[in-house]
């Protein structure tokens, strides 16, 4: 059930997301002073608020847990089971590729960058910082879920659902910075890489499923060129 989008628009957004991610990776690898300065300044502002307020830490930690990659994969698993019952093969493949594959992308990207977590982290996290796995995961999952729901939404509901999706992604990113477990640039990189990975998955599936076959399986799969 691909959102109606032209191939040219898809390519443009892929290029933009890839460019943003590569620039951030280069900046982090090169220890660019302006990025370190901006990251550290924002982290200090949030640390001043949260360091002595248990409620602050608890709230943002709850947001991180409820919208964590693991929690989103559990939701996706539920949708996959429902799709198997309905014999919607494409939905199963789509979610396995997007939500199921996002963890491998995160692990590979973190291994490549190897950026340490901020020293001011308010909770314990074990993996490296760049990019944010939470930001990447919520981006992929939200886009995947909205893509599946979009054809079934009343037109009046589409904009509100899209807004809720964007707010959810922003909220998770804010939570990771508020807890000082990620630099702001880690979060932006996570959003960019998540968008890039999701759009590449869409591009693969567009080529993989013939239009005639897509119409037979589910008419919502057909998208415009």
Give catalytic residue positions. Answer: 134, 182
Contact 115, 161 (CB under 8 A): no
The length of the chain, given as a count of residues? 225
**Euclidean distance between the first and final Cα of the chain, in Å?**
15
Q: Using an 8 Å Cβ cutoff, are 140 and 198 in contact?
A: yes
Nearest to 26 by CA among 134, 104, 117, 112: 112
Alpha helix ranges (H) inside the chain:
7-29, 33-50, 54-66, 69-85, 89-98, 102-113, 133-149, 155-178, 184-208, 211-217
Mention every residue, 6+ apart, whose C-beta is less than 8 A from residue 29. Answer: 113
Determine the Cα–Cα distance for residues 13 and 212; give it in Å rounded to an integer: 27
- d(C-alpha 40, C-alpha 155), whole Å: 43
Residues 6 or more apart whose Cβ sits within 8 Å of residue 51: 122
């Amino acid at each position: 059930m691909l959102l109606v989008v032209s191939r040219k628009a898809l390519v443009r957004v892929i290029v933009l997301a890839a460019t943003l991610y590569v620039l951030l990776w280069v900046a982090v690898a090169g220890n660019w002073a302006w990025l370190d300065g901006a990251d550290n300044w924002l982290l200090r502002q949030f640390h001043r608020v949260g360091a002595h307020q248990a409620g602050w830490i608890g709230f943002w930690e709850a947001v991180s847990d409820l919208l964590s990659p693991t929690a989103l994969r559990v939701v996706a698993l539920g949708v996959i089971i429902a799709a198997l019952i309905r014999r919607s093969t494409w939905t199963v493949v789509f979610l396995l590729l997007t939500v199921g594959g996002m963890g491998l992308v995160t692990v590979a990207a973190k291994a490549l960058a190897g950026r340490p977590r901020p020293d001011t982290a308010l909770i314990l996290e074990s993996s490296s910082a760049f990019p944010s796995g939470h930001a990447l995961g919520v981006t992929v999952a939200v886009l995947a879920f909205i893509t599946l729901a979009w054809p079934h939404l009343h037109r009046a509901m589409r904009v509100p659902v899209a807004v809720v999706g964007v707010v959810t992604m922003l909220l998770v990113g804010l939570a990771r910075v508020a807890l000082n477990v990620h630099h702001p640039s880690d979060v932006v990189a996570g959003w960019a890489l998540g968008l890039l990975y999701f759009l590449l998955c869409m591009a693969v599936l567009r080529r993989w499923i013939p239009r005639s076959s897509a119409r037979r399986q589910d008419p919502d799969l057909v998208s415009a060129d």
